[in-house]
Structure 1
């Protein structure tokens, strides 16, 4: 599975989980949210937003911003842990490129099903023997833990009583705002751009198309959402950029040094060559054995003399 497929799989998983968690929050006959995600997480977040807005007199816009900052700060370590796991596997793949790339080349150029299966088997063997994850270190548990918080924040921003009637900056929180949609699309584009900056040039060109996936999704969701929700996504986008910057310029350089040290102590293992690619050395070996046997016979005759 290449990096583009992993990224698409991750986005698909994210969309699926968002739809799943959306089903865990429903609206009653009065139009109020209900469900275990709302009762456990969304309602407390809604109360905190109301506290900032009414009790402290900050307004619902700042209330949404502050609650989003608090929640995202709490779950930021989970996101960094997930980024670290993926970056660790990526650093190992870069180090093992001299071993993996020839196999990938044979896999791309395979003309028969047998050649393709042999190359795939050799690639899996090389990954397994060198401790590479087939999913590239993308753990499901951190994602599953974060999604309920994202879903609860979404509904708290949208269904907190009074939030959709308030104004913030130049827009009304209950109405759609196109300038705000453009801003969040630009933020998520920048975050996607950052995520591919430290990959090899060839892979960067292949992954360039994926930079537009998240901004397009944000535009699509933003058109059908009130500005209160877009404001929550805006703060979330800033946190995503912060997480990506930490990953690119702090986590990845340290992991590259760690991987280099690990393989220095335990050198990479090249896989055994597949049968159809194994070099035939039988004639040379047979001739060597025959020459050795002939020398032994001649030596025996001389000893008898």
Structure 2
């Protein structure tokens, strides 16, 4: 049930994000081409975001004579690489907490089992409080990895790029390697979907089996959404998605093959110096009886060994 809710939530976020991109500028059909309405061209979103980005595309496409296809590609690459450090920083924070949580899974397992087995609201509350305390004691705070600033900074650029690629004057009549940029393109749609599929596929390389269950869902969902919206949009927009997908693949390669291995070494060193805390009072109340008994037995054996050693040492001292 929880996995299903997560999948539906992710799907809802994806749909909402894409609808937001496409709905920021009101449009209508003129001579078979979708263009901004007169009211939209005087709106705040169009004048602050879309118009400057369109001028940026025109700089490469018209003024430098590169054409609108290359104009969209270059502008998208420039903006994407400018905000790439923000994306990597946010990915680092969230991935670090995910890896740390995965490392501590054996510590939290008894608490999660007790939480699942709880039958009353009091038991569930006690289990939840103990789990939260154990997470806090071991430095787990998933909310710390959810930062709004990077997303808030990125969204205006994405909105501007999306609408500039869709509604910049001249794009509707331009072509790119024979592809009309004003009409949907199956070729660019496939390329966009393939790039987003590669990105999510690479992300599963370093996942745990539990993480892969959700990862495999996103492996299908993310490219499927891009394919649908790319096919419903002019080829200029699909080209924007394709170039953005290329940058996202680069970002995912950095995260999977460079960032995560370094993180795991850092986490290993961190918990080697400061072992996980597993015997707090908040944990004892909700740990299954069998685990409590095992822990007490281990503690008792250690105490017996220490007493025996102490007794032998005391005897030696007396003989001296």
Of 285, 297, 313, which residue of structure 2 is paired with 1:275? 285
Partner of 1:208: 216
**Within the alignment, does 1:193 sit opposite 2:222 as a pair?**
no
2-side partners of 1:212 and 1:152: how far apart? 27
Q: Deviations over 1:127-157 (max 9, x none)?
A: 1222212347232221121111111000111
Partner of 2:48: 40
Contact conserved, 2:165 with 2:240, CA < 8 A, in 1?
Answer: yes
SS of residue matched to 1:131 = coil
* TM-superposed deviation, 1:254: 1.4
Partner of 1:59: 67
TM-score, normalised to structure 1's length?
0.81
2-side partners of 1:157 and 1:275: how far apart? 59
RMSD: 2.8
**Within the alignment, does 1:93 sit opposite 2:90 as a pair?**
no
Distance 1:236 1:8, change over 3 A: farther
Partner of 1:130: 138
Distance 1:250 1:7, change over 3 A: farther
TM-score, normalised to structure 2's length?
0.78
Contact conserved, 1:189 with 1:214, CA < 8 A, in 2?
Answer: yes
1-side partners of 2:8 and 2:250: how far apart? 22
Of 223, 232, 240, which residue of structure 1 is paired with 2:231? 223
1-side partners of 2:166 and 2:200: how far apart? 26
**Within the alignment, does 1:104 sit opposite 2:112 as a pair?**
yes
1:253-264 equivalences in 2 (<5 Å): 253-264=261-272
Distance 1:17 1:176, change over 3 A: closer
1-side partners of 2:175 and 2:39: how far apart? 22
Unaligned runs of 5+ in 1: 282-305
Partner of 2:187: 179
Unaligned runs of 5+ in 2: 28-35, 294-320
2-side partners of 1:5 and 1:259: how far apart? 30
My pick for the range that moved more, 64-73 or 19-28, is: 19-28
Distance 1:91 1:277, change over 3 A: closer
1-side partners of 2:53 and 2:214: how far apart? 40
1-side partners of 2:4 and 2:81: how far apart? 29
Q: Deviations over 1:163-197 (max 9, x none)?
A: 11101113100111112212211111111111222
